Chain A
Amino acid sequence: MGKEECKTMLDALNKVTACYRHLVIALGSTSDSQNLREELKKTRKKAQELAVANRTKLTTLLKDKSISKDDRVEYERLWVLFSSSMELLEVDMKRSLELGQDFPLKVPTRHLIQTGMTGATTTVAARAMSVQNMKYDADANIDTADLKDLETEIVQVGQMREEMEMKVQVAPWAVEAKQEAGAELKSTVSVGNSSVGVISICEEEPKDGEEGESGIMKIFAGIIFAVVLLIAGILGYLVINLS
């Protein structure tokens, strides 16, 4: 059905936007490198492909006058999701242009900001591109060469957004969200992997409270302790009875 396809495509666009933001945040810092610039380029291209696909799909769906009212409300909601994603993407692209211009990689007298981030962003980019490993095959001066492409792409995205706002008559403030406050807590409880409450951020988080995943561990530990006490009590009783 059209709705399901739309939703999966929107999810993909959402994922790529989030990863792109993570990559742009690393620009100019010590984790910046030629690889990062290439990752940015690839992620951007993917985002644009997804954006165009989403747009064509949604415009055809919304232009269709024969859909029911509920369907129309749903499509308007998806449209608001799409346009908010595009907005974030456009801002991030403009910022990456500015940061890319301010922090060229080949100039030896211009130093990258020592932010404490030293790792690579390969995994984030791999997540964005939905591949297992990233392959790097660009030239050595991608940081300057890419900027012109970036400028044209920003213009394209700007034009696309203007077109969207003109052609599709959707009032974004009339859309009602399906999620209520606190909805983000519901499906992310399982995402804890290594943070079992031992490591804390910046050494003052222990006062603020432990990680959520350790709450479950605490209950578990409490149950085991109670069981052990019970067994100890029973054994003691038996010992007293026998002697």
Chain B
Amino acid sequence: MTIRNVHDCGQRHRPRVACLKKVEALVLEMQDPTSGVKSQTQRLVITTIPHALTGEDVVAWIAKRFNVDAAEGCAIGTMMVAFGYIYPLRDHKRLILKSDASLYRFQTPYFWPAQQWPVEDTDYAIYLAKRNIRKNGVLELHEQEQYNNLHKWLNHKWDFIVMQAKEQYRAGKERKKPDRVVFDCQERAYWVVHRPPPGSVSAMDLGLLRLIDPNQEESETSDYFRRIIIFTEQCIMRPRVKSSVSLGANPWLTDDPAYWDLNSLTIDNPTRMRVERWTFSFGELLSDPRGRDGFRLFLKKEFSSENLAFWEACEAVKWGTASTIHEKAQQIYKTFLARGAPRWINIDGKTMEVTVRGLKHPHRYVLDAAQTHIYMLMKKDKYGRYLKSPVYMDYQRRATDPEAHNFTETQLAQNAKNRRPSLSPIILRQQEEEQQAKLEASGPVDLTQVMSKLDKRNMLKEGQK
């Protein structure tokens, strides 16, 4: 029994898939022996298999049928290949239509992408088991990973999967050799479309779910027109400013991770756009961790870093877990608010009174008043000075300007092969926490400590005298 997701929510009605019915009609037209696409035979070592098409024939047929130019015909053909109605016989992982003599073949209707037949993991597991048998245990890397994953998650059905895979393998052997070859190609092509290997773009990324069936004919009532009017009004209202600033190579198109590296949290030289963003408002500066680092450096020079530290500690209380609020609030009181505290912050008497009273029964927003006071203090006084300071000028000078990409075709293919997942968020969080601990351990430079050290040194000197 497969545990089915009860909330179907119109799973079947997806944005781009309304075109499937039209593509199917087109495929049927292509089959006509007189007016359809010319077919040839494919010659393998011993067998010959009929019904192979060349890319250029398909493109020419589409161009003639729709009265478009060859480039457009190629694009339509690539769409058909990407959906899985036609599959390439060579280079089966790249689902594009090449308008040369490379061979393609039609996919059997059972394997057509149809809206109402979801692609089941059980079927994929059976396919991988069959492939395991055929390849004698040597699966490709992504197939092996999927196999292990499915073995873990479909473990209760695994006996069935193994039995069914063996039976399907033996039943397949009953057919003649050319048909066996074709069947293997068909199945492989189906799974390349629906479980794409890493580094390939899938046409089956269907996006958000829709609640209505795009193929259904809608009656033109007043409600229908009212909705169209609202939709077009909203479209007009949207801002249409297009930016021509270069953000570097688009990582989704070129598979180049440079964009992520340039915009990471721990980079030394942030991009120009990021540095400029800090001038928009104080809130922008504080919300970017890199901006906060720069500001912290500036405040250290001015000996008022306790303000930012207090603000960050208050944020930690607000966003942290409820069980740690009490502890954190006490820590903050001891470090920042108590009389004679090591990093005493300068807030007025009334706010201090309110805060201390609230700390008797601390809750998430107990330090809100003090935090707002410090925030306004920093904004009115320090922020303006920061933007004119040498620290910020230095950032502006060192800011990088990312260029648009100029990768060649081969480089793009290489990038696609080298795609790897980035660091897990768990590891990133651990690194963040380590950095914070280092920051705290390196000790704050605050006046009271420095003064007390100076005092001690003076006393020692006097003592020595």
**9-residue interface stretch from B40-48, B71-79, B323-331, B362-370:** B40-48
Task: Digitize A102-122: 1 where CB-to-B-CB distance is under 8 Å, 0 elsewhere.
Answer: 110000001111111111010
Kindly identify, within residues 214 to 228 of chain A, every residue whose CB is under 8 Å from any CB belonging to chain B.
215
Please measure, in the bound complex, the distance between the C-alpha atom of A209 and the C-alpha atom of B135, giving whole angstroms: 8
In the bound complex, do residue B1 and residue A113 qualify as a contact, i.e. CB atoms below 8 Å apart? no
Is B182 a contact of A117 with CB atoms below 8 Å? yes
Shortest distance from the beta carbon of A178 to any chain B beta carbon, whole Å: 6
Given A15-B167, A80-B157, A127-B171, residue A27 in contact with residue B179 (CB < 8 A): no
Flag whether A48 is at the interface (Cβ < 8 A).
no
Residues of chain B within 8 A (CB-CB) of A91 are 117, 120
When A114-B51, A182-B132 are in contact, do A199 and B108 touch as well, CB less than 8 Å? no
Cβ–Cβ < 8 Å partners of A141 in chain B: none
**A201 with B184: CB separation less than 8 A:** yes
- Please name the residue on chain A nearest to B128 by beta carbon: A184
Which residues of A25-82 have CB atoms within 8 Å of chain B's CB atoms? 25-31, 77, 80-81
- Residues from chain B with a CB closer than 8 A to the CB of A236 are none
**Given A111-B28, A188-B133: A95 and B110 interface contact (C-beta under 8 Å):** yes
Asked if B159 is at the interface of the complex by the 8 Å CB criterion, the answer is: yes
Contact of A29 among B42, B109, B133, B164 (CB under 8 A): B109
Q: How far is the CA of A28 from the CA of B31 in the complex (A)?
A: 12
| Chain B positions within 8 Å of A193 at CB level | 173
In the complex, what distance in Å separates the CA atom of A109 from the CA atom of B2?
40
Contact of A198 with B45 at beta-carbon distance under 8 Å, contacts A29-B108, A115-B51, A165-B1 already known: yes
Q: List residues 147-199 of chain B with CB under 8 A from any CB of chain A.
A: 147-148, 151, 155-160, 162-179, 181-186
CA distance A184 to B128 in the complex (A): 10
Q: List 5 A-B contacts (CB under 8 A).
A: A80-B159, A111-B31, A198-B46, A202-B181, A203-B90
Interface presence of A144 (CB below 8 A): no
Interface string of A189-210 (1 = CB under 8 A from B): 0010110001111111000110
- Smallest beta-carbon distance A242→chain B, Å: 48
Best-buried of B27, B46, B89, B109 by chain A (most CB within 10 Å): B109
Interface residues of A in 154-199 (CB under 8 A from B): 165, 172-179, 181-185, 187-188, 191, 193-194, 198-199
Judge whether B39 and A208 touch: CB under 8 Å. no
Which residue from B27, B44, B117 sits with its C-beta under 8 Å from A203? B44
Q: Which residues of A contact B156 (CB under 8 A)?
A: 80, 172-177
Residues of A within 8 A of B31 (CB): 111-114
| B135 touching A208, Cβ below 8 Å | yes
A77, B168: Cα distance in complex, Å:
21
> CB-CB < 8 A to A25: which residues of B?
108, 110-111, 183, 186
Q: Does A124 contact B (CB under 8 A)?
A: yes
- Taking A28-B108, A116-B105, A119-B175 as contacts, is the C-beta distance between A176 and B155 under 8 angstroms? yes
> Do A115 and B107 touch across chains, with their CB atoms under 8 A apart?
yes
- CB-based contact A181/B151 at 8 Å: yes
Choose from B46, B47, B49, B155 the contact partner of A177 (Cβ within 8 Å): B155
Contact of B109 among A28, A110, A181, A183 (CB under 8 A): A28
A8 at the interface (CB under 8 A from B): no
If A84-B157, A117-B183, A209-B135 are given as contacts, then 7 extra A-B residue pairs at C-beta distance below 8 Å, sorted by A number, are A18-B168, A115-B106, A116-B178, A117-B108, A174-B156, A184-B162, A209-B138
Q: A22-B168, A202-B92 are in contact. Are A179 and B122 (CB under 8 A)?
A: no
B8 within 8 A of A: no
Q: Find chain A residues with CB under 8 A from B138 CB.
A: 209
Q: What residues of chain A lie closer than 8 Å to B178, measured between beta carbons?
A: 116-119
Asked whether B285 is an interface residue with its Cβ less than 8 Å from the other chain, the reply is no
B117-140: CB near A (< 8 Å → 1, else 0) gives 100101000000110111111100
**Are B1 and A14 touching (Cβ within 8 A)?**
no
Is B164 within 8 A of A27, CB to CB?
A: no
For residue B109, which residues in chain A have a CB less than 8 angstroms away from its CB? 27-29, 99, 102-103, 113
State the CA gap A176–B155 with chains docked (Å): 7
Q: Is A87 in contact with chain B by the CB < 8 A criterion?
A: yes
* A149 and B52 alpha carbons, distance in the complex (Å): 36
B185 contact set on A, CB distance < 8 A: 201-202
Q: Which residues from A are CB-within-8-Å of B111?
A: 25
* Residues from chain A with Cβ under 8 Å of B91 in the complex: 204
For A20, the closest partner residue in chain B by CB is B171
Tell me which of A27, A81, A85, A185 contacts B137 (CB under 8 A). Answer: A185
- Given contacts A124-B175, A181-B148, whether A14 and B137 have CB atoms under 8 Å apart is no
Closest to A87 in B: B2
Q: CB-CB < 8 A to B46: which residues of A? A: 198-199
Q: Could you tell me the distance between the alpha carbons of A182 and B128 in the complex, rounded to whole angstroms?
A: 10
Closest Cβ neighbor of B114 among chain A residues: A98
- Nearest-neighbour CB distance to chain B for A14, whole angstroms, equals 5
Would you call B44 and A14 a contact (CB within 8 A)? no
B90 contacts A212, C-beta separation under 8 Å: no
Give Cα A3–Cα B3 distance, bound, in whole angstroms. 27
Per the bound structure, the CA–CA distance linking A19 and B167 in Å amounts to 8
Question: How far in angstroms is the closest Cβ of chain A from B177?
Answer: 7
A contact residues around B172 at 8 Å (CB): 22
Residues from chain A with a CB closer than 8 A to the CB of B105 are 114-116
Most chain A C-beta atoms within 10 Å of own C-beta, residue among B32, B107, B157, B186: B157
Whether the Cβ atoms of B170 and A191 lie closer than 8 Å is: yes
Question: Interface digits, B26-64 against A, CB 8 Å rule (1 contact, 0 not)?
Answer: 011001110010010010111101111000000000000
- Given the contacts A22-B168, A95-B110, A199-B177, A185 and B51 also touching, CB distance less than 8 Å: no
A188–B169 CB distance below 8 A: yes
